[in-house]
Structure 1
Amino acid sequence: MSLVFVLLFAVVLFAAAVVLVLRASERERQEDVGLRLRVLGGGEEAASTLAQMDAARQIRNPVLRWACHLIWRTGVELTPTAVLRILIALVLLIPLALLLFGVLTGLALVAMLLVIGWFLLVQKAARRRAKIIEQFPSFLESTIRVLAAGNTLDEALSSASREAPDPIKPLFVSIGRQVRLGAPLEAVLMETAEIHQLRDLKIMALAAAINRKFGGSLRNVLRSLISGIRSRDNAARELRALTAETRFSALVLAVIPIALMFYIVWQNPDYYTQMWAETRGRILLAGSIILQVAGVLVIWRMMKSTEEA
């Protein structure tokens, strides 16, 4: 028990040190943003956008970058500092759960909460991404109409975004703000495509880069992109219909062992405790957890590869 208290105290001290470092770096970044805004001009919204641009490009920690991208894909625009504070709070939950519920139950509870939170974020991001892809052809058609009037691509995107519905509107409004603050359009499009996993936006970024260097007609490229998106959407709908039974079977295979475990715990709470008390039981429990996680990952990857195809 004393070891748990020492671990909890160490984690709290580490979190306090990280918070102090974050406040110092945030103050320095705000001073830099204020200096640049006095040169460029702009209001509070421009300051927020510029700060987010700088913070997003300065992420070095791969875990923090992954968490930021996962949250940004859901449409929630949190700064990396806020995301890091959430991660620190989650880390503090581990010794607290161990202290309140014990080692085995606490680890299982924390793992279950993390998996459920990750699953909810992924599902929300997937629904938002599907909605953006569904709205993308209509958005590109509006962009082509503005381009036909002799406007540049960034002006066409800004004009089309004002009339676009959510969630594609805030995405391209953010892109327009970054371009107005001096970022290259193709770089912003490519970075947004990487964050939100939009391959069509990558094609658009490549087309914008080629058009900037060598010229050419963007309207023909965008028309081809619209045709490709709609053809791919029809093929994806047909593929989902053909694989519906297989995907349901995979879901049942993944859920049944977990549901059976909860049923055993409900009927006989001491069952796993007795197994954990013996060396052979611990080996069997650890092996079953590893095999279950590996099986779920394999099934998920198979379903994911089918959707990507």
Structure 2
Amino acid sequence: MNTSFIVFAVLAFLAVVLLIEAAYLFWNSRHGASVKRMDERFRALSAGGSVSTEKLSILKQRMLSDSPFVTRLLSSVPRVQALDRQLQQSGLSWSVARFAAYTGAAAFGGAMTGFALQTPALVMAVLAALFGGIPALILRSRRAKRVAQLERQLPDAADLIARALRAGHSFPAALGMVGEELPQPLGGEFAIVFDEINYGVSMSDALLNMVNRVPVDDLRYFVIAVLIQREAGGNLAEILGSIGAIIRERLKLLGKVRVLSAEGRLSAWILAVLPFAIIALLSVLNPDYVKVFWTDPAGMQLAGASLAMMLCGILWMRKVVRIRV
């Protein structure tokens, strides 16, 4: 066999191996586990940070999208930072650009569904709006679920800090213990506070950053109590123990209220979904019967008035059955 051919084959093999290794290193440098952890930490700081305002605002703008052009475009949108904060509070790994892309894709899918069903332009617009709201509903659901989990974990965190203080540990060390002992998501939030304090951020700024990241009223009271104690003095362990007991009693009362109002909330859901379910069922079983709503001008007006009244009724029932404790 020709020696030159063997040398060429060996060199080609090494080149392919090096090319694969370079591709892997390039992918790992942008999408690896360590990069994802750093991205989550930067997102946490950018969504709620109030330390070194200029630097953190730059991080926040860069995290809106991977593309500088899209970042500049999104930065001009009003309240885009509030949306970025809600995405971080929900625990989702979405950026603002990805959320906007999902919303646009869902709206386009709704419009194409209406086009495939040969519905009028108004119905296509309604379907596009309904489908486009699916990512927002997912965001709202994940955020509410995470907030509820944070509320359930907060009494344990207050008790753990109180016990650590009684054992002689400092308050920053107690925060580090909470970050290590408690599971996600609250443990991660306290770990961020502990890291910020170690990096030179003042105690009050680190705690206020956590309040901005975690939309829980009980945590705000917890932070206010700690800051007041640092200014006025007092037994912090006893204060935190009392706060933990109060939060537990409030959660017990909230559970009782939810049990007593379960029937009313179920009735509200049934009344809200029933008209739309009947229209959808009739559209499948007897399309000619419902077709008058889309073809006749009076039917369009009647459908619009009915939809407006149903939406008002849904909002009213939601306000009635939603009890805050």
Normalised TM-score (structure 2): 0.69
SS at match of 1:216: coil
Match of 1:65 in 2: 81
Does the aligned pair in 2 maintain the 1:53–1:178 contact within 8 Å? no
Indicate yes or no: 2:217 matched with 1:217. no
CA displacement at 1:220 relative to structure 2: 1.9
Match of 1:109 in 2: 127
SS at match of 2:139: helix
Match of 1:87 in 2: 100
Match of 1:128 in 2: 146
Match of 2:28 in 1: none
Residue number among 241, 247, 268 corresponding to 2:286 in the alignment: 268
Larger radius of gyration: 2
SS at match of 1:151: coil
1:97-127 C-alpha deviation (Å, 9 max, x unpaired)? 5467443343233333244433333333333
Does the aligned pair in 1 maintain the 2:109–2:131 contact within 8 Å? no
- Matched residues, percent identical? 24
Mark the CA change 1:186 to 1:203 in structure 2 (over 3 Å): closer, same or farther.
Answer: farther
How far apart are the structure 2 equivalents of 1:236 and 1:292?
Answer: 29
Mark the CA change 1:238 to 1:84 in structure 2 (over 3 Å): closer, same or farther.
Answer: same
How far apart are the structure 2 equivalents of 1:85 and 1:125?
Answer: 17
How far apart are the structure 2 equivalents of 1:267 and 1:204?
Answer: 57
Match of 1:49 in 2: 41
How far apart are the structure 1 equivalents of 2:294 and 2:42?
Answer: 53
Match of 1:180 in 2: 198
In the TM superposition, 1:135-154 aligns within 5 A as 135-154=153-172
Does the aligned pair in 2 maintain the 1:49–1:178 contact within 8 Å? no
1:206-228 C-alpha deviation (Å, 9 max, x unpaired)? 12222333332221221110110
CA RMSD in angstroms comes to 3.0
How many aligned positions are there?
262
Indicate yes or no: 2:184 matched with 1:171. no
CA displacement at 1:232 relative to structure 2: 0.8
How far apart are the structure 2 equivalents of 1:222 and 1:185?
Answer: 17
| Gaps in structure 2 of 5+ consecutive residues | 1-33, 50-56, 61-74, 116-120
1:21-58 C-alpha deviation (Å, 9 max, x unpaired)? xxxxxxxxxxxxxxxxxxxxxx9766863565246554
Residue number among 193, 217, 225 corresponding to 1:199 in the alignment: 217
CA displacement at 1:245 relative to structure 2: 1.8
How far apart are the structure 1 equivalents of 2:142 and 2:107?
Answer: 25
How far apart are the structure 2 equivalents of 1:123 and 1:98?
Answer: 24
Match of 2:71 in 1: none
Q: Which residue identity is paired with 1:251? A: W
Indicate yes or no: 2:261 matched with 1:243. yes
SS at match of 1:260: helix
Mark the CA change 1:94 to 1:233 in structure 2 (over 3 Å): closer, same or farther.
Answer: closer
Q: Which residue identity is paired with 1:250? A: A
1:123-153 C-alpha deviation (Å, 9 max, x unpaired)? 3333322222222222221111222244332
Q: Which residue identity is paired with 1:83? A: V
Indicate yes or no: 2:317 matched with 1:299. yes
| Gaps in structure 1 of 5+ consecutive residues | 1-42
How far apart are the structure 2 equivalents of 1:53 and 1:221?
Answer: 28
Q: Which residue identity is paired with 1:290? A: A
Mark the CA change 1:220 to 1:286 in structure 2 (over 3 Å): closer, same or farther.
Answer: same
Does the aligned pair in 1 maintain the 2:222–2:240 contact within 8 Å? yes
Q: Which residue identity is paired with 2:214? A: H
How far apart are the structure 2 equivalents of 1:293 and 1:70?
Answer: 25
